[in-house]
Amino acid sequence: MPKTGKVYIETFGCAMNHKDSENMLRELQEENFSQTSSPEDADLLLINTCSVREKPVHKLFSELGHLNRIRKESSKIGVTGCTASHLGDEILKKAPYVNFVLGARNTSKIREVLYRDGAVEIDITHDDSLHSFGETPISKFQKSINISIGCDKKCTFCIVPQTRGTEISIPLDLILSEVRKGVEAGAKEFLLLGQNVNSYGRRFSLKHQKIDFTKLLREISKVDGLERIRFQSPHPLHMDNRFIEEFATNSKIAKSIHMPLQSGSSRILSKMKRGYTKEWFLDRAERVRKAVPNVAISTDVIVGFPDENEEDFRDTMEVLEAVRFEQMFSFKYSPRPLTEAENFPNQIADEVAGKRLQTLQKRHLEILNSLAEDRVGKEYSVLFTDFEEGCLLGRTSEGYLVKSLGTEESVGKIKNIKTTSSFRTYMKATIL
Ligand code: SF4
């Protein structure tokens, strides 16, 4: 394969996967690869897979078949990410035209496997944490930074510990130097990424001073020129009072928080091995809202987990009513290979789970409509990041998308705005 060419990449799944894709693209730039959106023109085609969503294996092989039909004869195909970790050389057996397989914990080896046909690198104990992360901004003004890799939790529905391995935190110095580099390049907002960000500091690959997530936030917020910090995803179990106080009082921390509920039933939460109860979750959410009245809380919910009965589902509905999430990602449970829950008895019929999901989403839409109405006439601060057809686009600290008339000069700046009209997915506003 020539040491130059075009790379086409398809990314499925979470923000971590997108970050891995960015990191691989950056590595490939070192090999003189440039990105193309056309698979027919590519010299290298990558599918960065996810195992969390519906039918990941089926999706992978159907996409591989499609790419194989349309690609250039001389091109190579690589499969990376979580499904690569769990299927390994099965992929080469089923699709012998694939040139290499690279697990989610091994993406730093992309340049190495590029020239090794048949390579399968899926070691989930591989320490990718010191892989130096380069300039891969979300936009000129926003940058994401990995603060940890892997996950030590054992949620029974989740495949991540099997594909991304145990948790390793990135050293503080490396994170701070990435933030400073980002600020120098013009970034104002930083998104800290990890499967479980707020257990930061649990384990480092080398000897490291003791530091937890709250202290990390404090240290990052001291960097001159940084204006906003976001993070994804925290675990409700680790939201202690110290963290909530820092979240509320540190003006650099954006006032939106993801609190993945998964289920409102303590009985189901225990079967999921989430480590908290309905009461704990409600208490944390209430504390967060009390400390930051305008906070936007988002969540993930799974309905129809094995053995979930109507009473359990009512608990989930009760939490929805109590917290009134500003955003909710909700799914029907479906068993994932290599997870504990795959073999749980009392799997719920698809029809029953489907009905529950409908009920949940219908009520959530009503809540979203009423929350949107409440935002009219309110003031927010917005980081404008784009300008399209005379319209400025940006997000408030709470994460709401804002469209406002204005001039391109406001791009890259934080401005105060007043909402003139508000919908479920965005707001219109005037700059104050
Ligand atoms: S916290 Fe649970 S759901 Fe999240 S990545 Fe870890 S095991 Fe998966």
> Which residue owns the Cα nearest ligand 1 atom 4?
195
Q: Could you give the CA distance from residue 67 to residue 40 in angstroms, rounded to a whole number?
A: 8
Of 56, 131, 49, 27, the residue nearest 98 (C-alpha) = 49
152 CA distance to ligand 1 middle (Å):
8
What contacts 348, CB < 8 A, 6 or more positions away? Answer: 304, 305, 306, 307, 308, 333
CA-closest candidate to residue 281, choices 292, 270, 357: 270
Q: Is the pLDDT of residue 291 over 90?
A: yes
pLDDT attached to residue 132: 54
Instruction: Please give the pLDDT value at position 13.
Output: 82
Distance CA 125, CA 122 (A): 9
The answer, yes or no, to whether any atom of ligand 1 lies below 6 A from the CB of 339, is no
Q: Which ligand 1 atom lies nearest to the CA of residue 151? A: 6
Mean pLDDT for all residues in the chain: 93
Maximal C-alpha separation, the chain:
61
DSSP 325: -
For the stretch 267-290, pLDDT in tens is 999 999 999 999 999 999 999 999
Query: Among the atoms of ligand 1, which is closest to the Cα of residue 164?
Result: 5
Percent of the chain, pLDDT > 90? 78
Where do runs of H (alpha helix) occur along 185-277?
213-221, 241-249, 266-272
Q: What number is the average pLDDT over the span 406-418?
A: 95
Q: Which long-range contacts (CB under 8 A, 24 or more apart) does 357-362 make?
A: 357/303, 357/304, 357/330, 357/331, 357/332, 359/313, 359/317, 360/301, 360/303, 360/316, 360/317, 360/320, 360/328, 360/330, 361/328, 361/330
Tell me, using a 6 A CB cutoff, whether residue 161 lines ligand 1: yes
Whether residue 130 is predicted with pLDDT greater than 60 in this model: the reply is yes
Give the ranges where 103-208 is alpha helix by DSSP (H): 110-113, 160-164, 172-184
Per-residue pLDDT tens over the stretch 139-197: 789 998 989 989 999 999 998 888 888 999 999 999 999 999 999 999 999 999 999 99
In tens, the pLDDT along 326-336 reads: 999 999 999 88
Residue 267 phi, psi dihedral angles, 5° rounding: -65, -45
CB 143 within 8 A of CB 180: no
Bridge pairing between strands 391-396 and 137-139: unpaired
Spacing, Cα 195 to ligand 1 middle (Å): 7
Q: Give 292's Cβ-side CA count (13 Å radius).
A: 23
For ligand 1, is residue 21 a contact (CB within 6 Å)? no
Q: Of the given ranges (25-29, 63-67, 303-307, 408-412), which has the lowest mean pLDDT?
A: 25-29
Using a 6 Å cutoff on CB, does residue 397 contact ligand 1?
Answer: no
278-287 burial string, b = 16+ CB within 10 Å, else e? bebbbebbeb
How much is the pLDDT for 53?
A: 65
Q: How do residues 208-251 score in pLDDT, each as one tens digit?
A: 899 999 999 999 999 999 999 999 989 999 999 999 999 999 99
389: left (phi over 0), alpha (psi -120 to 50) or beta: left
Question: What integer pLDDT is reported at residue 139 of this predicted model?
Answer: 72
Q: Tell me, what's the pLDDT at 1?
A: 58
- Whether residue 337 is predicted with pLDDT greater than 90 in this model: the reply is no
pLDDT of the residue at 2: 56
The confidence score (pLDDT) of residue 18 equals 87
18-22, 46-50, 226-230, 245-249: lowest mean pLDDT where?
Answer: 18-22
Separation of alpha carbons 364 and 44, rounded Å? 42
In the predicted model, is pLDDT for residue 135 greater than 60? no
Rounded to the nearest angstrom, the distance between the alpha carbon of 156 and the centre of ligand 1 is: 9
> Quick one: pLDDT at residue 57?
81
User: Domain coordinates of the chain in residue numbers?
Assistant: 5-121, 379-431
Q: What pLDDT, in 10s, does the model give residues 365-380?
A: 999 999 999 999 999 9
DSSP 236: G
Question: Would you say the CATH fold of 379-431 matches that of 5-121?
Answer: no
Which atom of ligand 1 has the smallest separation from the CA of 233? 4
pTM above 0.75, yes or no: yes
> Quick one: average pLDDT of 88-92?
93
| Cα 173 to Cα 385: distance, rounded to the nearest angstrom | 28
Quote the distance between the C-alpha of residue 279 and its chain's center: 26
The residue whose CA is least distant from atom 8 of ligand 1 is 158
Q: Give 379-431's CATH code, choosing from 2.60.40.10, 1.10.287.130, 2.40.50.140, 3.40.190.10.
A: 2.40.50.140
Query: Which residues does 423 contact at the CB level (< 8 Å), separation at least 6?
Result: 372
Atom of ligand 1 nearest to the CA of 159: 8
**CA nearest neighbour of 83 among 59, 118, 99, 66:** 59
| pLDDT-based confidence at residue 59 (cuts at 50, 70, 90) | confident
* 348 DSSP assignment: P
Say whether pLDDT at 38 is over 70: yes
Check pLDDT > 90 for residue 431: yes
Q: Quote the pLDDT of residue 54.
A: 63
Q: What is the CATH number of domain 5-121?
A: 3.40.50.12160
- Contact between residue 63 and residue 49 where contact means Cβ atoms under 8 Å apart: no
The ligand 1 atom at the shortest distance from the C-alpha of residue 273 is: 2
Separation of 415 CA from ligand 1 center, angstroms?
Answer: 36
pLDDT at 137 over 60: no
Q: How far is the CA of 233 from the centre of ligand 1 (A)?
A: 9
